[in-house]
Each structure stands twice: as structure tokens, then as C-alpha cells.
Structure 1
Amino acid sequence: MAIFFCPETGGFYPGEPYGDAIDKVCVELSQEEYQDLRDSIDQGKEIIVVNGWPKAVDRVTPPEQMIAFERNWRDSEIRNTEWLVTRHRDEQDLQLPPTLTLDQFSGLLAYRQALRDWPQAEVFPDLEFRPVAPASIAEQLQ
């Protein structure tokens, strides 16, 4: 079955163009071209139109959106680790053996501080340089 792409609507249409593509210029894609584009979409790419043909390109996120996304991620990470800090301090106050070792708790506090410092880092908001939870803490969070 033929797949058509309509540059005007940005849509893919099986068989003869229909729906939003009626009376619009469409280009026919081979099954391989269509599948390559679908795979690219699944990998997070977006489809743009170049000379009437669809082309997959890396998605460009505006800097202000990326900053907001990273701040939300950071805030979420701090919230998600709060219970570990609270549990550890409660265990200490109750004179119970703590679940976390002193090294693990120090690592947790250092991670949370790195999260708070993350927006001021020169490389912020580059995902590649996000603070990483220590392995012992990451296990607790899963």
C-alpha cells in the first residue's frame, strides 16, 4: 500500500490522500522511506518539510523550555529524596540503627546539594552534566 505525505498538513496518509489532504498536493513515499521516518519519530526526532518532502531532524528545544524542564527535574529529584533524609534523621532521633550508613547519608546530602547548585552551573541545562545520584541512593529510589 502506498503512503502519501502532505507537506501542507504535515500528515502521512495510507492509500490515496484523504481527510485533511483532500485537494492538497501530496508526495508518495516508499514503504522504506515511510518506515525510516516513523523510526525517526520514535527516536524523538521531528519531521520538517524540505522542498516538499519530509525530513527527520533532531528536535530543537528552545532554551527557556530546557531550563524550565531541568528545574522541574531537579525539584522532583529533591522531593523524591526527602523521605530518605527524614527517615535517616528519625532513626537517629529514635536511637534506632540507621538504614543508611554514614557514607551513604553523606553521599545523599552531597547529591542533594549538587541538585540545588545545578541551575548555577556553567553547563546548565545540558542533560549530559546532570548531577547523578550515588548508586546506593539510586537503589533506594527504585
Structure 2
Amino acid sequence: MYAKFNEIDDRWMFSFDQLDESWGEYSDVDHVALFAKLDAALPQLMVIGTGKDGLPEVQLPPAPLVSELEASARNWRNGVLAQTDGAVARHRDQIEVGTVTTLTVEQYRLLQVYRQALRDWPESASSQFPAESDRPVQPDFLAALLAAV
């Protein structure tokens, strides 16, 4: 068995053949033990990283980068805005045609306040963006409204 750390995609590779001189010998016993540790850790997510001795070892995955957390938070926020676009459009359409609105005036106002808070969240001085615990709180009626759509 042979092992090589691939720096391009930051992962260990294993092979039964030494493909070139950059592949180092790695015993079958160590290989089996490594994957047994990985399996034993389930359901916790673990990765194969590099130990202090330069060899593969089971480790916790690295923490996500701040830029990755920010991108994920923006994707979540954009998804919520997209989910609520229909409710806003329907309310406006109902007013324009003079029919009874699905939302009360107060619900519509709270929805628009929430949507504005979502837009302002990343740049708000008081926010801890991108922390999930600091996400704007949706109005109480919103979950039921979105479930009905």
C-alpha cells in the first residue's frame, strides 16, 4: 500500500501501486486502522488529515472560512427573500384589483420590515453576521403563510 498527500485538493490518496517516487509506503495494517478510526467516529464527521509525524491521521474537519460562512448566510438570506417575493407580489396584486388581501395591513408591514432586516443584516453595525444566532427573526405568521403557498 502507498500513500501520497495531494496538495492541489488538500487530501490523502492511497494506492496499491507506487505510481511514482512521490508515493510513500504505507502499511496495510495502518491503512485498515486509519479507516477503522474514521468509521468508529461516525456519526461525527471526521477527515483524514496530516499528523505531526507527516502521516495520515483521523482529525476533526477544519473550521469553515469566514468567507464560506458569509456566502452561506447570504445564500440563506437570498433564499428567504425569494420565498417571500410571492407573498409580497400577491398582496400588491390583491390591492390593485380591489380584492380581499391574504395578509392584513399589519402582517404586510411586518413582512416588509423582516425583508428589509434581511437585506440590512450583512452590513448592520449591531449584527454578528454571519452568525445563525443573529439572523433576523421572522414574523410569527410567516411559516404558516409559506407552508400554504
Same fold (TM over 0.5): yes
Q: Note closer, same or farther for the CA distance 1:20–1:37 as it changes in structure 2 (3 Å cut).
A: farther
Pairs aligned (count): 129
| Aligned amino acid, residue 127 of structure 1 | E
Tell me the equivalent position of 1:78.
81
TM-score normalized by the length of structure 2 = 0.68
State, as a whole percentage, how many aligned pairs show the same letter: 27
Tell me the equivalent position of 2:22.
none
| Structure 1 alignment gaps of length 5 or more | 12-18
| Aligned amino acid, residue 77 of structure 1 | V
Q: Note closer, same or farther for the CA distance 1:33–1:82 as it changes in structure 2 (3 Å cut).
A: same
Contact 1:46 1:56 in 2 (8 A): yes
Tell me the equivalent position of 2:15.
20
TM-score normalized by the length of structure 1 = 0.71
1:35 equivalenced with 2:39 (yes/no): yes
- Equivalence map 1:1-142=2 (5 Å): 8=5, 10=12, 20-23=15-18, 24-26=25-27, 27=30, 28-29=32-33, 33-41=37-45, 45-50=46-51, 51=53, 52-121=55-124, 122-142=127-147
Contact 1:7 1:54 in 2 (8 A): no
Q: Deviations over 1:55-88 (max 9, x none)?
A: 3314411122222222222222212211110101
Q: Note closer, same or farther for the CA distance 1:30–1:56 as it changes in structure 2 (3 Å cut).
A: closer
Contact 1:47 1:54 in 2 (8 A): yes
